[in-house]
Amino acid sequence: MSQNGQRDLDVLCFGEAIVDFFPDRPGVPLADVATFHRHLGGAPANVAVGLARLGARAGLLTLVGADEFGRFIRAELAREGVDVSGVGTHRTARTGVTFVAVGPAGERSFTFYRHPSADMLVAPVDVDTRLLARSRVFHFGSSTLAREPARSATLAALADAGEAGCLISCDPNWRPHLWADPSEAPALIRQTLAECDVVKISDDEIVPLFGTTDGEAAARAMRELGVQVAIVSLGARGCYYDSPGGSGYVAGEKVDVVDTTGAGDGFMAGLWAALLPQLDGRSLSGAELQIALRYANRVGSLTCTKFGATTALPRKHEVLR
């Protein structure tokens, strides 16, 4: 894996930016929660914020509504140092809202209000090829593949990113409820993964996407699609990787878990923050990739220590402590 050229954005993230409402304490059913706290959310937005906090130059390509929540999202991203020149405003659709229920052990579930929301209506015309030309890495998920016009926009952005010479990164973060027919998802997601250089999937996604419970087999299947670095995240146990430089397990870190929301997004931010300085036109060694994955595991673990997907995303000095 290599990448050349002078570009002023390290990673351009594509996809949903929404507002998450979290209860003021864990273990309470949403019906019994009296007080919620508002947070920036959406997996690609979380990755962009995580990258910015780790010192990378990140941007986001999405749509928000012409409403107060849309203004909140744009302001929060800008405050975090994320390039918002690709954050457009949909003329009629509202910004997406999600209520997050957090269990006593940090497990979470979601209640979505997106019927559809602005981010789900991004169209091919909204894909800014100038932003792609400025970016070293294009990162996306699978939520925008769930329906049109966002599906066509995702495929167009993927093709344009390849033509622009970007490295392609994906964390599917599959949400079956977003699909009118979830059975369509595995084949389409695998089709897009075949265009990717780096892919991370979680261990609870390997059965629906690859038909196996074996993380090693799922990683091999991704490599057979053409993925250069295939990663299966294993929660607190760390991750497994398969790459041209070798394969193996990288242990996770123990933390006091408060909320697991955004842990995978923190992992992706940490991974690219560690990889970006090494993309100097040569392939990564297995040892270098393991160092990057240990860093990614640490960032993902720290993300679990507070409420909210972005709240606990660490800054560089907090990771190195």
Local mean pLDDT, 10-residue blocks, the chain (321 residues): 71 97 86 92 97 98 98 98 98 94 78 90 97 97 97 98 97 92 96 97 96 97 97 96 95 90 95 90 80 96 88 90 63
Which amino acid would we find at residue 239? C
41: nearest Cα among 311, 316, 305, 319: 311
Q: Is 125 exposed, middle or buried (0-12, 13-18, 19+ CB in 10 A)?
A: exposed
**Residues with Cβ < 8 Å from 149, sequence gap 6 or more?**
121, 122, 123, 124
CB 50 within 8 A of CB 269: yes
Cα(80)–Cα(131) distance, integer angstroms: 19
Cα(173)–Cα(270) distance, integer angstroms: 16
Which residues are paired to 37 by β-bridges?
A: 22
- Which stretches of 57-102 are assigned E, i.e. beta strand? 58-65, 87-90, 97-102
Which residues are paired to 13 by β-bridges?
A: 60, 139
CB 271 within 8 A of CB 66: no
Cα(165)–Cα(5) distance, integer angstroms: 9
**Residues with catalytic roles:** 265
Establish how many alpha carbons lie within 13 A of residue 128's alpha carbon, considering only the half-sphere containing its beta carbon: 17
Residue 108 is predicted with a pLDDT of 74
**Residue in the block written with tokens 């914020």:** 49
Residue 51 is predicted with a pLDDT of 98
Element spanning 110, H or E = strand 108-113
Residue 127 is predicted with a pLDDT of 97
Residue 251 is predicted with a pLDDT of 96
Cα(10)–Cα(50) distance, integer angstroms: 13
Torsion sign across C-alpha atoms 64, 67, 71, 77? negative
Per the rule left: phi > 0, alpha: psi between -120 and 50, beta: everything else, 55 is left
Structure tokens at 125: 């015309």
Residue 321 is predicted with a pLDDT of 63
Cα(64)–Cα(93) distance, integer angstroms: 8
CB 52 within 8 A of CB 81: yes
Element spanning 288, H or E = helix 286-302
**Residues with Cβ < 8 Å from 283, sequence gap 6 or more?**
1, 2, 244, 245
Domains of the chain in sequence order: 9-16+42-93+116-319 (3.40.1190.20)
Residue 2 is predicted with a pLDDT of 46
Residue 23 is predicted with a pLDDT of 87
How far is Cα of residue 136 from the mean position of the Cα atoms in its chain? 16
The answer, as to whether pTM is greater than 0.85, is: yes
Establish how many alpha carbons lie within 13 A of residue 84's alpha carbon, considering only the half-sphere containing its beta carbon: 18
Residue 290 is predicted with a pLDDT of 95
User: How many C-beta atoms surround the C-beta of residue 157 within 10 A?
Assistant: 26
